[in-house]
């Protein structure tokens, strides 16, 4: 069944160096629309300096991902919008300014409107996206009207003005050079509206356009090739052209190539460069020149952070309004599914009316035109009143179209419109997941596997926020309990978990099934310096949220400092880069699912690092009762993986389940035999035991428990020996 889907590259997850490689100008956007139109009935693209968002109406977002792949491997930076509600909420939030670099800015609404106009021109906008985009624009206007978020918004123009003030220029004695005319109007108008300046140059590849803008602003037009004279005079240089341009690049800057450029840069005192271009207009190496201050879009994001804080108070109310509009549009979208039924029903009613009027009018004798018109209006009003309850009933049914005995079929029979054919899924399954990029990625992968088994089923993703997402990982079931509550409340049908996140204490009424073949169980090291574990200097700080990892690494490098770290993949990498960690340890499978494994410095084989219980295994949790959901999920079960999961879980339970101790286990199963490796240690890693056991697959749990108790006994014996020595001495 077709749905609204999308993929987005934005400033939230992608640095400017990535965004500029995927920035599309108007001609490239048109080409992309036409290419994607071959796959999707409707497609819409927003391409700005801070985002490339592609929305479509179709069956899957995979073809949009394939389009992004032609630029290179950028999937780690992409946000997947795999389902109607997720995609719609993202677009409405974008229009409201909630996803903007400067929260609440107005410019995005105009950019969405321009994108809509371009899509209409290229005939890639159909009835669904047309209504969706118009509703998004309405949502943006409503949020700014009913909250104060717009009053505090900071457009790029205002940010630029604040940067100029920050550098203490006397504007009356300051000369400006504006490069590009398209997006610079707002900034120039902001400056000129607030103060007088000494002189203004306007440079453009289109000298006529430059002259037109210069006349409007009282400035002087400059041809791009003769820009160095203006550059030598200018104190503030602002770039905003979206063309393929890299002004003052390395070749131009080389002394032997262009002395005019170097002279121009050094002349006229300190210079401020503000780069609004994507791709960037000015080479980043200019920041190294003591005579120059250069800011690009990423710098602006950092500078304005404090100024944005006061707008955050308006975000809860803005989100509430966005949610109201999303709910309304979802109702409209569901109603649209039954629109052919309603249209056919009304046409039948109209035909009956016309037939009855043909019977009635001759029997009334001479009837004047006024009376005929009254009869037409009367019968139309009568039909409206008679049909409204039926039509509203059909719309209500549309909101729950996945009933087992679908009432739409009944309605079609009652209304005598059997000839209308609409797609009705056999079943609808609501899949719960956390909202992290990794969780959504693996949930989408599981849904794809289920669709291959039952293509006539519809799967809808529902994001559930957990305690772990809020940073509280100490509670039992930090990443699972919220999903379990939602399932017991009937809000979701199944939940996708990483098996290692599931507590050993089961929930009455729920059942967990390990599914699909196990993925990579290894752990990886990511270091800032690119050094492997053995090469890191003594005292280097390793970030890990796992005692299991730190205890094992201490056996190899006891001279390193192991420091606690938590968060999702992106969050941990950011902390490594900004909070004093030299390296971090992550699971390989998570990086692989996000196409980020190439950032790993070193991959630890299991001989070095035994994985966490259940690492690399996905599981599905569901209500523990027979039915179509259970039968479907069981078809994904991979027996060797399930045997390994059962053995590792038995090992963990034998050691106290969720106790705060370093515990690791890795089982490998064949049809007849199983090998289990295990680790048990004290919390500080000083008393450490590792062992292996092999035996019949039928004895997997007994073997696992035996190994666990043997390792625990050895660690306990070591602790007693140390205590005895201390008492004796």
Element (H, E) at 675: strand 673-681
Distance from C-alpha of 71 to C-alpha of 700, rounded to nearest angstrom: 48
DSSP state of 470: G
Structural tokens at position 459: 């799967």
Distance from C-alpha of 172 to C-alpha of 618, rounded to nearest angstrom: 65
Cα→Cα distances 534→479, 555, 583, 604, Å: 33, 12, 12, 12
Q: How many other C-beta atoms are found inside a 10 Å radius of the C-beta of residue 462?
A: 17
Structural tokens at position 39: 């796959």
**Residue 501 appears among annotated catalytic residues:** yes
Distance from C-alpha of 653 to C-alpha of 642, rounded to nearest angstrom: 16
Pairing label, strands 618-623, 541-544 = unpaired
Distance from C-alpha of 437 to C-alpha of 58, rounded to nearest angstrom: 22
Backbone angles phi, psi at 219, to 5 degrees: -115, -165
Element (H, E) at 177: strand 175-179
Distance from C-alpha of 426 to C-alpha of 628, rounded to nearest angstrom: 11
The answer to whether the Cα torsion of 724, 725, 726, 729 is positive or negative is positive
Distance from C-alpha of 640 to C-alpha of 515, rounded to nearest angstrom: 10
Element (H, E) at 247: none
Task: List residues bridging with 294 in a β-sheet.
Answer: 273
Please check whether residue 419 is in contact with residue 58, taking contact to mean a CB–CB distance below 8 angstroms: no
Distance from C-alpha of 325 to C-alpha of 327, rounded to nearest angstrom: 5
From the number of C-beta atoms within 10 Å of its C-beta (0-12, 13-18, 19+), residue 316 rates as: exposed
Distance from C-alpha of 560 to C-alpha of 571, rounded to nearest angstrom: 22
Q: How many residues does the chain have?
A: 729
Structural tokens at position 633: 């999920």
DSSP code per residue over 549-606: HHHHHHTT-TTSEEEE--S-HHHHHHHHHHSS-SEEEEEHHHHHHTT-GGG-SEEE-T
CA 344 to chain centre: 40
83, 296, 469, 501: the active-site residue: 501
Task: List residues bridging with 417 in a β-sheet.
Answer: none
Q: Which residues contact 613 (CB under 8 A, 6 or more apart)?
A: 500, 648, 649, 651, 652, 663, 664, 665
First to last CA, the chain: 76
Please check whether residue 683 is in contact with residue 696, taking contact to mean a CB–CB distance below 8 angstroms: no
Distance from C-alpha of 347 to C-alpha of 286, rounded to nearest angstrom: 69
Please check whether residue 306 is in contact with residue 331, taking contact to mean a CB–CB distance below 8 angstroms: no
Distance from C-alpha of 607 to C-alpha of 184, rounded to nearest angstrom: 59
Known catalytic residues are: 501
């Amino acid at each position: 069944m077709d749905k609204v889907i999308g993929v987005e590259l934005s400033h939230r997850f992608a640095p400017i160096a990535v965004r500029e490689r995927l920035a599309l100008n108007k001609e490239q956007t048109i080409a992309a629309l036409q290419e994607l139109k071959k796959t999707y009935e409707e497609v819409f693209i927003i391409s700005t300096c801070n985002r490339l968002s592609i929305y479509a109406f179709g069956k899957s977002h995979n073809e949009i991902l394939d389009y992004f792949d032609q630029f290179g491997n950028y999937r780690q930076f992409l946000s997947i919008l795999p389902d109607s509600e997720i995609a719609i909420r993202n677009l409405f939030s974008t229009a409201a300014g909630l996803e903007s670099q400067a929260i609440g800015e107005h410019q995005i609404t105009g950019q969405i409107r321009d994108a809509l106009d371009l899509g209409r021109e290229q005939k890639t906008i159909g009835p669904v996206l047309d209504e969706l985009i118009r509703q998004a624009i309405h949502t943006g206007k409503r949020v700014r009207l009913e909250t104060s978020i717009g009053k505090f918004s900071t457009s790029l123009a205002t940010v630029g003005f604040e940067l100029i003030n920050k550098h203490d220029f006397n504007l009356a004695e300051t000369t400006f050079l504006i490069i590009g005319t398209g997006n610079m109007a707002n900034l120039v108008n902001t400056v000129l509206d607030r103060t007088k300046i000494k002189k203004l140059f306007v440079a453009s590849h289109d000298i006529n356009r430059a002259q037109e803008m210069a006349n409007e602003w009282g400035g002087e037009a400059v041809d791009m090739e003769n820009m160095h004279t203006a550059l030598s005079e200018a104190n503030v240089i602002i770039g905003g052209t979206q063309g393929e341009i890299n002004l003052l690049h390395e070749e131009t800057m080389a002394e032997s190539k262009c002395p005019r450029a170097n002279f121009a840069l050094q002349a006229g005192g300190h210079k401020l460069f503000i780069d609004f271009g994507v791709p960037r207009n000015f080479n980043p190496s200019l920041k190294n020149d003591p005579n120059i201050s250069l800011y690009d879009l990423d710098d602006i994001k950092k500078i304005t952070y404090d100024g944005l804080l006061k707008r955050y108070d308006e975000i809860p109310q803005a989100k509430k309004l966005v949610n109201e509009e999303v709910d309304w549009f979802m109702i409209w979208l569901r109603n649209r599914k039954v629109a052919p039924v309603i249209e056919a029903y009304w046409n039948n009613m109209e035909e009956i009316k016309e037939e009855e009027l043909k019977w009635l009018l001759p029997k009334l004798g001479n009837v004047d035109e006024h009376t005929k018109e009254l009869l037409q209006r009367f019968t139309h009003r009568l039909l409206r009143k008679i049909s409204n309850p039926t039509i509203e009933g059909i719309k209500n049914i549309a909101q729950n179209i996945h009933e087992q005995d679908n009432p739409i079929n009944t309605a079609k029979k009652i209304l005598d419109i059997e000839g209308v054919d609409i797609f009705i899924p056999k079943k609808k399954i609501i899949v719960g997941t956390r909202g992290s990029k990794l969780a959504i990625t693996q949930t989408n992968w599981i849904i794809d596997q289920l669709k291959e088994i039952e293509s006539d089923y519809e799967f809808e993703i529902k994001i559930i926020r957990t305690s772990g997402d809020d940073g509280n990982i100490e509670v039992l079931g930090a990443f699972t309990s919220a999903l379990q509550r939602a399932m017991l409340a009937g809000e979701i049908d199944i939940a996708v978990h990483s098996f290692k996140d599931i507590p050993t204490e089961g929930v009455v009424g729920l059942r967990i099934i390990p599914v699909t073949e196990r993925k990579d169980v290894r752990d990886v090291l990511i270091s800032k310096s690119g050094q492997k574990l053995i090469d890191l200097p003594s005292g280097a700080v390793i970030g890990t949220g796992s005692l299991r990892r730190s205890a094992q690494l201490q056996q190899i490098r006891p001279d390193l400092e192991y420091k606690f770290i938590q968060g999702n993949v992106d969050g941990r990498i950011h902390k490594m880069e900004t909070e004093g960690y030299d390296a971090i340890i992550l699971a390989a499978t998570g990086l692989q699912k996000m196409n980020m494994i190439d950032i790993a410095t070193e991959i630890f084989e299991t001989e070095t690092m035994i994985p966490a219980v259940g690492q690399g295994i996905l599981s599905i949790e569901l209500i523990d009762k027979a039915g179509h959901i259970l039968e479907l999920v069981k078809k994904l079960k991979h027996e060797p993986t399930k045997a390994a999961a059962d053995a590792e879980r038995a090992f963990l339970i034998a050691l106290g389940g969720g106790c705060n101790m370093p515990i690791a286990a890795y089982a490998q199963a064949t049809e007849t035999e199983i090998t289990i490796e295990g680790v048990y240690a004290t919390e500080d890693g000083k008393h450490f035991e590792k062992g292996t056991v092999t035996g019949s697959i039928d004895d997997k749990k007994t073997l696992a428990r035996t190994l666990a108790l043997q390792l625990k006994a050895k660690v306990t014996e070591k602790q007693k020996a140390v205590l005895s020595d201390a008492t004796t001495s």
